[in-house]
Amino acid sequence: MKVRIFTFGCKVNQYESQWLREAFVSRGDEISEEDDFDLALVNTCCVTAKAEKDARILVRRLLREGKMVQITGCIPEKPEGFFLRDYSDAEILRRHKVYSHFPKADRKISSFAGHTRAFVKIEDGCNNRCAYCIVPLVRGPVRTRREKEILGEAAGLVSAGYRELVLTGVNLGSYGAETGTSLSRLLPKLAENPLLKRIRLSSIELPHITPLLLSTLAQIPAFCPSFHIPLQSGSDRILSLMGRSYGAAEFLDTVFRIKDLFPSALFTTDVMVAFPGESDSDIEATCDIIRKVGFFRCHLFPFSPREGTRAYTMPDHIPALRRKERMARVRACAEEVKRRIALKYIGKEHEVLFEQSRNGFQTGFTENYLLTGSTSPLCREGEIVRVRLLSPPSSEQAWFIAEPCV
Ligand code: SF4
Choose one of 135, 143, 304 to mutate for the ligand 1 pocket test, by most ligand atoms within 8 angstroms of C-beta: 135
Structural contact between residues 400 and 296, judged by C-beta atoms closer than 8 angstroms: no
Check residue 130 and give its pLDDT. Answer: 97
User: Do β-strands 198-201 and 266-273 pair in parallel, antiparallel, or remain unpaired?
Assistant: unpaired
Residue 236 alpha carbon to ligand 1 centre in Å: 17
State the Cα–Cα distance between residues 202 and 229, nearest whole angstrom. Answer: 9
State the Cα–Cα distance between residues 75 and 44, nearest whole angstrom. Answer: 6
Q: Which residues pair with 297 in a beta bridge?
A: 268
Q: Whose CA is nearest to atom 2 of ligand 1?
A: 130
- 27: nearest Cα among 100, 111, 120, 115: 100
Neighbours of 52 (CB within 10 A): 22
Ligand 1 near 133 CB (within 6 A): yes
Q: How far is CA 131 from CA 5, 128, 240, 289, 308, in A?
A: 32, 9, 10, 22, 10
Structural contact between residues 363 and 373, judged by C-beta atoms closer than 8 angstroms: yes
Check residue 57 and give its pLDDT. Answer: 92
Residue 130 alpha carbon to ligand 1 centre in Å: 6
Structural contact between residues 133 and 171, judged by C-beta atoms closer than 8 angstroms: no
Question: Topology of domain 2-101, per CATH?
Answer: Rossmann fold (3.40.50)
- Of ligand 1's atoms, which has the minimum distance to the CA of residue 133? 8
CATH code for residues 230-344: 3.30.750.200
Residue 276 alpha carbon to ligand 1 centre in Å: 17
CATH code for residues 349-404: 2.40.50
Choose one of 45, 130, 275 to mutate for the ligand 1 pocket test, by most ligand atoms within 8 angstroms of C-beta: 130
Which CATH number fits the domain 108-224, given the four candidates 3.40.50.150, 3.90.1150.10, 3.30.413.10, 3.30.750.210? Answer: 3.30.750.210
Q: Any idea what the Cα angle at residue 56 is, between residues 54 and 59, rounded to 5°?
A: 110
Q: What is the residue extent of each domain of the chain?
A: 2-101, 108-224, 230-344, 349-404
Residue 390 alpha carbon to ligand 1 centre in Å: 38
- 4: nearest Cα among 29, 55, 28, 39: 39
- Of ligand 1's atoms, which has the minimum distance to the CA of residue 244? 2
Q: Which amino acid is at 161?
A: G
Q: What Rg, from alpha-carbon coordinates, does the chain have?
A: 22
Check residue 114 and give its pLDDT. Answer: 63
State the Cα–Cα distance between residues 350 and 136, nearest whole angstrom. Answer: 38
Structural contact between residues 177 and 127, judged by C-beta atoms closer than 8 angstroms: yes
- Of ligand 1's atoms, which has the minimum distance to the CA of residue 134? 8
Q: Which residues pair with 361 in a beta bridge?
A: 358
Q: What is the pLDDT along the chain (406 residues), one digit of tens a residue?
A: 999 999 999 999 999 999 999 999 999 999 999 989 999 999 999 999 999 999 989 999 999 999 999 999 999 888 776 566 667 788 888 888 888 888 888 889 988 866 688 999 999 999 999 999 999 999 999 999 999 999 999 999 999 999 999 999 999 999 999 999 999 999 999 999 999 999 999 999 999 999 999 999 999 999 999 999 999 999 999 999 999 999 999 999 999 999 999 999 999 999 999 999 999 999 999 999 999 999 999 999 999 999 999 999 999 999 999 999 999 999 999 999 999 999 999 999 999 999 999 999 999 999 999 999 999 999 999 999 999 999 999 988 999 999 999 8
Do 108-224 and 230-344 have matching folds? Answer: yes
